[in-house]
Amino acid sequence: MKQEFDFVEIRIPAKAEYVGMARLSMSGIASRMGFLYEDIEDLKVAISEAITNAVTHAYREEPGEVTIGFGIYSNRLEVMVADRGGSFRLEDIKEKIGPYRHDEPIENLREGGFGLFLIDALMDKVEISNDHGVIVLMTKFLSEAEVDVSDDQISAT
Amino acid sequence: MDLQVEIMEQDEETAVLAAAGEVDAYTAPKLKEALLPLTKKENFLVKVDLKDVSYMDSTGLGVFISALKSTKENNSSMKLVHLQDRVLRLFEITGLIEIMDIEWGANG
């Protein structure tokens, strides 16, 4: 059964100076959903890492765009970061994407650094597709306490 | 969403470099530019005061890794002090807390 969700998409120039702006968007969406402070901070680092990867590795020579999609579900937030400028359909991408395996070579995604490692450590689920550019799909679930809070709010209205 | 970096104190043997703001892909080069030269003096100790750094990601960790390598090459040392909990957490997750000289909290 298809789950209902809201979708927010933003496109930014593939430049480091826009990472902070995406982080603010993330912060706004996550706090609207009721994520706790700690989780919001984790989400901010994760999205920054994914965009930094795209900015530093995908567009070393020519200018480009990074597309960021937020899938807002009742129990989780899915964040997608794609280093090709075109819009994407959430359902299509999810079909193409596989889980990130620790034994697979990721040289083309990052050179050294802790970016992907941090994404993996801070998010509940991380999937990566390499077919057309690099797409990172990462998921963070609302904790039961957080879900309960929003349930209460819904029943109260 | 900016970063200020300033040398607060400096004498023959030590310097305190204070950073304030957010360290990310955009601002990390600024930190690196200020920090690296301080690690190139033999027997020199550079303390980096991170009390007012509210956000950091792997780009910041990368700067400190470069700086640590530079201290080994130049026989100098680096100490990170006053880390906020969120920033400290990244050093814990990545294991860097084991290889860097770090003091956190009010006593750092």
Check CB contact under 8 Å for A52 and B59: yes
Check CB contact under 8 Å for B94 and A117: yes
Q: Among all residues of chain B, which has the CA nearest to that of A15? A: B26
Give A2's DSSP letter: P
Query: Does residue B46 surpass a pLDDT of 90?
Result: yes
Q: How large is the average pLDDT for residues B23-48?
A: 96
Cα–Cα distance measured from residue A74 to residue A97, given in angstroms and rounded to the nearest whole number:
22
Global pTM reads 0.84
> In A, which residues are within 8 Å of B62 by CB distance?
112-114
Percentage above 70 pLDDT, chain B: 95
Cα–Cα distance measured from residue A106 to residue A100, given in angstroms and rounded to the nearest whole number:
10
* pLDDT tens figures, A30-42: 999 999 999 999 9
Sign of CA dihedral A48, A52, A53, A54: positive
- Provide the residue ranges of all domains of chain B, joining segments of one domain with +: 3-104
Report the 3 state secondary structure along B8-59: EEECCCEEEEEEEEEECCCCHHHHHHHHHHHCCCCCCEEEEEEEEEEEECHH
pLDDT at B82: 96
Cα–Cα distance measured from residue A50 to residue A128, given in angstroms and rounded to the nearest whole number:
11
B94 — contact with chain A (CB < 8 Å)? Answer: yes
Mutate to test the interface with B, among A19, A56, A81 (most CBs of B within 10 A): A19
B61 — contact with chain A (CB < 8 Å)? Answer: yes
Around A36, how many Cα atoms within 13 Å sit in the side-chain half-sphere?
A: 11
Q: Among all residues of chain A, which has the CA nearest to that of B66? A: A113
Cα–Cα distance measured from residue B20 to residue B13, given in angstroms and rounded to the nearest whole number:
23
Q: Which residue has the tokens 């209460």?
A: A152
pLDDT at A90: 65
* pLDDT tens figures, B74-99: 999 999 999 999 999 999 998 888 88
CA proximity to A53, closest of A7, A119, A138, A132: A119
Is A95 in contact with A75 (CB distance < 8 Å)?
no
pLDDT at A45: 97
Return mean pLDDT, chain A: 80
Structure token digits, residue A2: 């298809």
Of A152 and B74, more confident = B74
Of the ranges A56-70, A76-90, B72-86, which is most confident?
B72-86
Q: How large is the average pLDDT for residues B21-29?
A: 96
* pLDDT tens figures, B47-68: 999 999 999 999 999 899 889 9
Q: Does domain A6-156 have CATH number 3.30.565.10?
A: yes
* Cα B33-A113-B35 angle, rounded to 5 deg: 20
Give, in words, the CATH class of B3-104: alpha beta
Is A77 in contact with A39 (CB distance < 8 Å)?
no
